[in-house]
Structure 1
Amino acid sequence: MATFTLLVDGQVLDHELLAQLQTVEAEEHLQMADMLRLVFNIAVKEDGSGWRVLDDAVFSPLTHLQLQITVGNNDPVTVIDAYVVETQTAFTNNPGESTLTVTAMDAGVLMSRREVVRTWAGMSDSDIAGTIFNDYGLSSEVETTDVTYEEDNTLIVQRGTDMQFLQLLAQRHGFDVYIDVDPASGSLTGHFGPVRLDGEPQGLLTIHMGQSSNLNFLNVRWDMLRPTAVQVDNIDFDSGENQTGSAGSSDLTLLGGEDLFKSTTPRMSRVLPSGAAIDAELLSIAQGLCNRSSLAVVAEGEVDTRNFGAVLRAKRTVTVRGAGELYSGIYLVERVLHAFIEGEYTQSFTLRRNALAPRRQDDFTPEEE
């Protein structure tokens, strides 16, 4: 059995409001902001003084929300820490059909409220990312970048919000930028770096294995037309000469026994970047694009939570078995949609990987066995 706890500004949601909550949806995503959506049933109060829930003014702009999910006897897992960014009210003449939908976005919204013009001199992209996270009181997990921009040579100018700027810097390295929430403590960490593929898989997703199965379905797609090599071209500001950076393979951890890039006909992508000033930047851009292109196997499915017995998290790895020699193995969890609808908990997901077949060291044994 799965249950949830919704915290509003640090306090558990009032019991009367909880009784009106019809739908809870929390989406974790590697490439986009994590989002929370709540749908409440609303009705005119018995004394006619206003609308229940709507006129209680609980969900004002940037109200702080946290969603914790508990499966079975496991500890609660905080899946999202978010701030209210929108409400939508649907009024009808039919009793019981009017609703209030509350939408909240992860802490990245706090970094997206103010556009600024700011110069950054004598700092690398990773230094800049660490500074911005610190400005918001966030601890950070930042991958060091090699290039430092000297003021007499290159001046980095920020024009936009802090989150927009971080995303721009991340694109230059093929990095991801997001705010991660610790499942146990609920503390927040700013992430600026490549996808995390080296961690211990968080569980075992099983399809077509009788009573051992814990997936309702699994659909796998292999995009065979993705580029396997990238060349980035530019013109040197000072000399006017051509600059080139290229990458012919991914340097990410291989998630399976057979590299996807070696399983398909080579295909080259050529890119004309904007804002790249030196060769090292071009190489970084090319490698980042090549890395992202390598995650060409995509799996989508739905967890049978009763049999899985846990909360699946995005931005981490998971093991899949029962999908044949080709598609069984370790995957990166790109997206998870957690939904409570009429008390029923579902987990829909999107996975990615850069390889085929399992590795020799992959463990397909469930913990209880």
Structure 2
Amino acid sequence: MPEPDIRVKLLIGKTIPRPAPYEVIDALIDLEVTQQDRDRSGFQMTFSLSKELKNFSDYWLLRKGILDPPNRIIIQVIVNVKVGVNRSFQSPILIDGIITDHQIAPSNQPGESRLIVTGEDISLMLDLEDKNETYLNLSDSKIVNKILNKYKIKYGLTLDVQDTTKYFSPNQQEQITTQQSTDLQFIQKLAIRNSFIFEIKPAKTPGTNIAYWGEEKDKVTPAQPALSMNMGAFTNVDSSISFNFNALEAIKPQASVSDEKTGASIPIQVLKSPSQALASKAAKFLRKEVLRCTNKLEKILAQKETESFASRSQENAVTATGEVDTVRYGYVLEVRQLVGVRGVGKTYGGYYYVKQVTHRIKRGEYKQSFTLKREGQGATIQMLQV
């Protein structure tokens, strides 16, 4: 039987989060954090509300303003679980976020009043102000660095921005880059233009984050324990894992660029997928789509955009969903990483990319719901490690 030691650490503050008071921790009933690989992550916490003995006119949690928007909150879990002879220790930060709203549900019954607090990760702070800016003679990577530097100190950002000058370094006679959106929307637009991704994720130290803008990184053989079904004592998945194979997800892009001298259209071929193969039998491209955005791009950028589009569409062909008890599983699943699936047959066994994880925590219980994906059927290896 697994021996659990799971604790939750909350830090709250206006700018620099500090350990939450005991009264806040004691009032916490449950919390839920949804981590996503591309979209913004979010959280929801439910607290029990009670009025002070000396002041029955208001609830203590509301009067102190500790959980008011837009306070910053950091949720960290410390997991030390022994399963068999193995012991797993992790202390991941589930989210570094901003409280956006709270809901009050008063009750006539003593102890049944509730405060529900919700919020999103700190990338939200880049998405609050619409701007009109012009950037002359700056490459996309220099623009991104310039924007992110405004948030660097306040949110503890370590910038990891991939240089784009090797692809294209514009001057104002060739191209003038303008921003007519929020910083987040504009950075994401520049990422798409370079076939990059943009993400802000918590670092290992509370209060620090990594802002990555660049090519999607290769997924390496996972250190995450395999999700196991129908394997007796090695089974660690509570409910059945459901698999869905959608043959229409894979879309073959048709793209071209214009020759500068003749104006002739030059087709772009998908030479390879930039993503690591996780399936031995990738889904076939049943649909085709014309990428009209590549016509005026530099050829190397058009090639990257075409290959990236094909990869993104194909990698969603197979999705898997399920739930694990963290004590039984002995590990906190991480998004943007790989995980193995065992005991479900050769067609759907093997490695998957972790797209989304929802952590549901309350006293005596820690469940993780997950969504996995890959580009087709069939494992690429014969045997998975535990």
Q: Could you state the TM-score of these two structures normalised by the residue count of structure 2?
A: 0.84
1:210 to 213, 221, 232: 232
Contact 1:205 1:321 in 2 (8 A): yes
Distance in 2, matches of 1:248 and 1:238, equals 25
2:22 to 15, 40, 54: 15
- What's the CA shift for 1:234? 7.2
1:142 to 161, 168, 172: 161
Q: Tell me the equivalent position of 2:86.
A: none
Q: Secondary structure at the match of 1:39?
A: strand
One-letter amino acid of the counterpart of residue 269, structure 1: E
Contact 1:70 1:76 in 2 (8 A): yes
Q: Tell me the equivalent position of 2:243.
A: 220
- What's the CA shift for 1:110? 1.9
One-letter amino acid of the counterpart of residue 7, structure 2: T
Q: Deviations over 1:62-109 (max 9, x none)?
A: 312111112225242212111212222223444333321112221212
1:293 to 305, 313, 326: 313
Q: Deviations over 1:260-283 (max 9, x none)?
A: 14xx35532213339954444433
- What's the CA shift for 1:120? 2.4
- What's the CA shift for 1:148? 2.6
Q: Secondary structure at the match of 2:186?
A: helix
RMSD: 2.7
Q: Tell me the equivalent position of 2:114.
A: 99
Classify 1:117/1:65 alpha carbon distance in 2 versus 1 (closer, same or farther; 3 Å): same
Q: Tell me the equivalent position of 1:60.
A: 68
Q: Could you state the TM-score of these two structures normalised by the residue count of structure 1?
A: 0.88
Q: Deviations over 1:172-207 (max 9, x none)?
A: 344321101124666311122343333341312112
Moved more, 220-229 or 154-163: 220-229
Count of matched residue positions in the alignment of Structure 1 and Structure 2: 362
Classify 1:58/1:130 alpha carbon distance in 2 versus 1 (closer, same or farther; 3 Å): same
Distance in 1, matches of 2:142 and 2:349, equals 39
Could you list the runs of 5+ residues in structure 2 that have no partner in the other structure? 82-88
Q: Secondary structure at the match of 1:53?
A: helix
Distance in 1, matches of 2:163 and 2:353, equals 22
- What's the CA shift for 1:359? 2.5
Could you list the runs of 5+ residues in structure 1 that have no partner in the other structure? none
Distance in 1, matches of 2:40 and 2:206, equals 20
Classify 1:69/1:107 alpha carbon distance in 2 versus 1 (closer, same or farther; 3 Å): same
- What's the CA shift for 1:246? 4.5
Q: Tell me the equivalent position of 1:48.
A: 56
1:77 equivalenced with 2:84 (yes/no): no
One-letter amino acid of the counterpart of residue 70, structure 2: L
1:166 equivalenced with 2:166 (yes/no): no
Contact 1:174 1:291 in 2 (8 A): no
1:201 equivalenced with 2:222 (yes/no): yes
- What's the CA shift for 1:156? 1.1
1:17-36 mapped onto 2 (5 Å cutoff): 17-36=24-43
Q: Percent identity?
A: 26
Distance in 2, matches of 1:57 and 1:167, equals 34
Q: Deviations over 1:302-337 (max 9, x none)?
A: 123122211111121212222211222221111111
- What's the CA shift for 1:251? 2.1
